[in-house]
């Protein structure tokens, strides 16, 4: 059984974050870039750690308290391996009333298992708790898997940046308003229920995340 831990990035995980960035994006941000994110009060940077546990060892998941303004944490009561594997990374910047999502990455070996959806759920839930009003991001038009994920959370196309990526590909600008509405709360609840089912199917063990529930 594989256990997941969702928490803010720490300085000790910088090297692992840079390695994951390299795997997913070919080096979008440098180590110094991640260090700046850690120091920024307007940046929320979350990671997903995976650790192997023993099904028969009496392991028990313990729900964390609801999200605070500064952190989201999911704790699992188990003995972690000395160096848990970093399998996911997500970040957004708080800009006035906007949550600008800058990174959503899942280790190539663990994609399409619900981890990206869990990270996006946690980021948007945290933005809602910070009383932000809308969220934006850029995505490649060719990245159909990402587009499908964002659409499930209610993102729609708001514009296009020509030749935005180093490959020369355009970027679609996606936008999601109404983060403080009941409709968005219901969307988060539905998405989390789907995440729970998907994670269970792939053998992930995760304690309750209260990110988007208010």
Looking at the domain assignment, is residue 95 inside a domain? yes
Catalytic one among 34, 110, 121, 150?
150
pLDDT of residue 207: 60
- Per-residue pLDDT averaged across 125-146, rounded? 95
pTM: 0.83
Q: Which domain holds residue 80?
A: 2-205
Q: How far is residue 90 CA from its own chain's centroid?
A: 4
Q: Respond yes or no: is residue 138 known to be catalytic.
A: yes
Looking at the domain assignment, is residue 76 inside a domain? yes
Label residue 19 by pLDDT band (50, 70, 90).
Answer: very high
Higher-pLDDT residue of 45 and 64 is 45
Going by the DSSP 8-state scheme, the letter that residue 158 receives in this structure is: E
Long-range contacts of residues 192-200, Cβ cutoff 8 Å, at least 24 apart: 192/121, 194/114, 194/117, 194/152, 195/114, 195/117, 195/118, 195/121, 198/113, 198/114, 198/117, 199/4, 199/113, 199/114, 199/115, 199/118
pLDDT of residue 84: 82
Catalytic one among 133, 138, 169, 196?
138
Domain count, the chain: 1
CA 9/CA 181 separation, integer angstroms: 29
Model confidence at 77: pLDDT above 50: no
Is residue 188 within 8 A of residue 212, CB to CB? The reply is: yes
Looking at the domain assignment, is residue 211 inside a domain? no
Looking at the domain assignment, is residue 125 inside a domain? yes
Model confidence at 110: pLDDT above 50: yes
Label residue 53 by pLDDT band (50, 70, 90).
Answer: low
CA 203/CA 183 separation, integer angstroms: 31
pLDDT of residue 58: 34
Looking at the domain assignment, is residue 82 inside a domain? yes
Residue 141 sits in a domain whose CATH number is 3.40.630.30
With tokens 């968005």, the residue in question is: 184
Looking at the domain assignment, is residue 28 inside a domain? yes
Instruction: Spell out a b/e string for 57-85, using b for 16 or more CB atoms within 10 Å of the CB, else e.
Output: eeeeeeebeebeeeebebebebeeeeebb
The rounded percent of the chain whose pLDDT value lies above 70 is 81
pLDDT of residue 177: 97
- Per-residue pLDDT averaged across 42-70, rounded? 57
Looking at the domain assignment, is residue 214 inside a domain? no
Higher-pLDDT residue of 78 and 166 is 166
Looking at the domain assignment, is residue 212 inside a domain? no
Model confidence at 45: pLDDT above 80: yes
pLDDT of residue 96: 95
């Amino acid at each position: 059984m594989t256990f997941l831990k969702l928490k803010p990035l720490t300085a000790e995980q910088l090297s692992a974050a840079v390695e994951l960035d390299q795997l997913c994006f070919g080096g979008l941000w440098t180590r110094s870039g991640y260090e700046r994110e850690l120091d920024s009060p307007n940046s929320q940077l979350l990671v997903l750690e995976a650790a192997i546990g023993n099904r028969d060892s009496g392991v028990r998941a313990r729900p964390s308290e609801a999200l605070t303004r500064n952190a989201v944490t999911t704790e699992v009561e188990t003995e972690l391996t000395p160096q848990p594997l970093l399998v996911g990374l997500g970040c957004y910047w708080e800009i006035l009333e906007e949550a600008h999502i800058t990174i959503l990455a899942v280790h190539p070996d663990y994609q399409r298992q619900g981890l990206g959806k869990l990270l996006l759920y946690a980021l948007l839930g945290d933005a809602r708790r910070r009383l932000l009003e809308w969220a934006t991001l850029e995505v490649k038009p060719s990245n159909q898997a990402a587009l499908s994920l964002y659409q499930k959370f209610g993102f729609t196309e708001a514009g296009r940046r020509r030749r935005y990526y180093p490959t020369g590909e355009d970027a679609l600008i996606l936008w999601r308003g109404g983060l403080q509405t009941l409709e968005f709360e219901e969307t988060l609840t539905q998405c989390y229920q789907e995440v729970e089912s998907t994670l269970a199917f792939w053998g992930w063990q995760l304690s309750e995340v209260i990110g988007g529930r208010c």
